[in-house]
Chains A and B, each alone.
Chain A
Amino acid sequence: MKRLAPLVVLASLLIAPTAHAYNWVGHYWLSNSVVLNYNDGSFSSSSLDWTTTRNQLGSAAGTWTQPACTVLSLSLGSSTTSGYGYDGENVISMESTNAWRTQLYLDSAIYGWTIDSWNDTSYDITDSDVIFNGGAMTDPTGAQQLYWSSMAGAPDELDFQSIALHEFGHVIGLGHNGSPGASVMYPALAGGTLARSLHQDDVDGVCFLYTNPFSMAGMNAECTTDHDCATGTCAFDGTNHTCAYRCTTDCDCPSGNGCGMTATPGVSVCSTGANTCPTTGGRTFAQNGASCTHGIDCLSSLCYTPTTGSAFCTNRCNTDCDCNAAYTCDATVHVCVTATGATHCTMLDGGTVADAGHGGLDGGVRDGGSAPPTGHSGCAVASADRDSVAWLIVMGLALVAHRARRRVR
């Protein structure tokens, strides 16, 4: 899905510019999960207390994972003796003047650096290293020394946690934010000041790149921005903002829905009403498992492109219980994929799904080779065709909620 992210970003710019101010630089962690190991030995020559420094690194990493709208996992791992470089291990280190100069080609005017490595076809970051200058640091005149501080107060002190928070924003794929006071990714930090909390723009950015699927609303649900909606569009009808599918003609909309203009010029969406599509009488959305090109092809709104194989419609999930039979929840990308082994939810006759001893929203820790659980405890749902039922429910709600709101086409 994230492979389409560049496309989605630019499409949103072409179709309906949004108000966000975060800056995505074009690559991201496909797994939603980043572990940063730390070379604590490299900090030994620093004036910073290591225990405090480690806590501050952990706090900075954890700050990016706090918004409920993101599934990003960014955490400190363990001590390592490795340093920067493309080796599949993400490392935080502080480098001496010698390495800073002869290996990285940096000087005293540079304080911190992040090196990302990614594949230019998948945009998937596979290695990211954060490096702090452990040698001399100079101010703009080149004459005044600057120093690291765990609680910057003086103008010649650089707040370590604030800069770590900024650098970790780059680790996850965010660029600079040009709105003053609106982001920790704003490219300025005065000496002696602290910037340790995310702003709304930062939250929007991390949640765009690493969306919590269960924070996204379905069709007709109230919304604030496009990012709130599984349908991809938060449409404004002049009174309310609701999630909707975009369309150009009735043929883009399902039966019982027509394509109508919104209060936003140039934006049309599907809403409850007659469908006059001459050929099909309405669009048929692809069911889970069917091939697709974009999310709008799918009833679920999710067209997922696996690492190998073709894109297919599927559901977002946190556990196997969120998936149809024969599907399992891929914990790394939070989508239902074809099961190759046991799943935690076993489909019984008549369509009851049961999960013994799992549950929870941890993203799906699997027991792999254990026998498929049986029984009727845990996350039970009551239909073999949940998509159909969900769709009917959505349509019913849509009928009620939008009968009076439908605009004349």
Chain B
Amino acid sequence: MRSIRSRLVGSLALAITLSIAAPWSASATVGSYLTMPALVRLSEVIVTGTVVSQASAWSPDHRLIYTRTTVQVTHTYKGDVPSTIVIGTVGGRVGHRVMSAAGTPTFTVGEEAMLFLHVAGDVYFPTALSQGVFHFQSASAGATAARDLSGMTLMASDGTVVASPEPTLHVTDLESTVVRLTGAGS
């Protein structure tokens, strides 16, 4: 039988690993679970793209940490955007300081995603936080898309909670839905 101390040391290693792997796991957001038509309608820009870089830094007044994620746009469904856009989100890690901006989507360099966005100057930001980001994943039956809604309090119109993770979609189904709702041909 392993000693308690060895269990604890192992647990500490696991705790550190988890803390590094999910530094922004705090959940502190109350919001509304938008229907797909509402998500499309509220978003000024809808694109698919590939994440090419990401960096976190303090704001000039050193009050907020922002993470800027650069995306190479591969297809535009709504709005008029350049070929490369920057998505701004609050939160991130600079040195040993972590700022958690709950419900904020996180990205991985190299991943593809469909993005529902607002525009604020030269920065784009996700509609309804994580609700506006469908991460693409390869699968044998075709690419799928899923949102990470952990960390969000989502109220449906009847007041019930929307569980996370939600069911994954086939990318082709998602794209056809967006095309139909935007009225844009692909």
Contact = CB atoms under 8 A, between A and B. Distances in A.
B23 interface: yes
Contact of A187 (B42, B131, B153): B153
B153 A188 contact: yes
B30 to A, nearest CB: 4
A246 B159 CA distance: 45
Contacts of B30: 110-113, 163, 166-167, 189
Nearest to B12: A7
23 contacts: A7-B12, A14-B7, A15-B7, A86-B65, A105-B126, A108-B42, A109-B128, A110-B32, A112-B30, A118-B97, A118-B98, A119-B98, A140-B33, A166-B30, A166-B153, A170-B28, A176-B27, A188-B155, A188-B159, A188-B161, A189-B155, A247-B4, A293-B5
B91 interface: yes
Contact of A170 (B1, B26, B90): B26
B25 interface: yes
A115 B98 contact: no
A346 B18 CA distance: 46
A84 B5 CA distance: 41
A25 interface: yes
Interface residues of A, number: 68
Given A10-B14, A120-B97, 16 more contacts: A15-B4, A86-B62, A105-B90, A110-B29, A114-B26, A115-B64, A117-B97, A117-B99, A119-B98, A120-B96, A139-B32, A143-B38, A163-B30, A187-B153, A187-B154, A247-B4
A146 B1 CA distance: 57
B102 to A, nearest CB: 6
Interface in A44-99: 84-87
Given A15-B7, A170-B27, A6 B15 contact: yes
A373 interface: no
B88 interface: yes
A11 B7 contact: yes
Nearest to A123: B19
Please classify the interface of chain B as helix (H, G, I), strand (E, B), loop, or mixed, using the class held by over half of its residues.
mixed
A87 B58 CA distance: 12
Q: Most chain-A Cβ atoms within 10 A of its Cβ — which of B7, B38, B153, B154?
A: B153
Contact of A113 (B7, B29, B61, B126): B29
A190 B162 CA distance: 12
Contact of A115 (B12, B90, B121, B157): B90
A107 interface: yes
A352 interface: no
Interface in A227-269: 246-248, 252
Contacts of A193: 159
A305 B126 CA distance: 42
Contact of B96 (A119, A141, A167): A119
A187 B27 CA distance: 10
Contacts of B32: 109-111, 137-140, 146
A110 B128 contact: yes
B169 interface: no
A114 B100 CA distance: 8
Q: Most chain-B Cβ atoms within 10 A of its Cβ — which of A27, A106, A170?
A: A106
B125 interface: yes
Given A10-B11, A248-B3, A109 B102 contact: no
Interface residues of B, number: 72
Interface of A: 4, 6-11, 14-15, 25-27, 84-87, 101-121, 123, 137-143, 146, 155, 163, 166-167, 170-171, 175-176, 186-191, 193, 246-248, 252, 293-294, 296
A106 B129 contact: yes
Contacts of A175: 25-27, 151
B181 interface: no
Contacts of A123: 19
B98 A246 contact: no
A109 B7 contact: no
Interface string B49-73: 0000000000101111100000000
B66 to A, nearest CB: 8
A110 B129 contact: yes
Contacts of A171: 28
B127 interface: yes
Contacts of A140: 32-35, 38, 155-157
B41 interface: yes
B141 interface: no
Q: Most chain-A Cβ atoms within 10 A of its Cβ — which of B26, B97, B131, B159?
A: B26
B8 interface: yes
Given A142-B35, A175-B26, A102 B96 contact: no
A374 B91 CA distance: 53
A4 B5 CA distance: 12
Contacts of B154: 187
Contacts of B121: 102
Contact of B120 (A102, A110, A142, A191): A102
Nearest to B4: A246
A50 B127 CA distance: 30
Contacts of A190: 155, 158-160
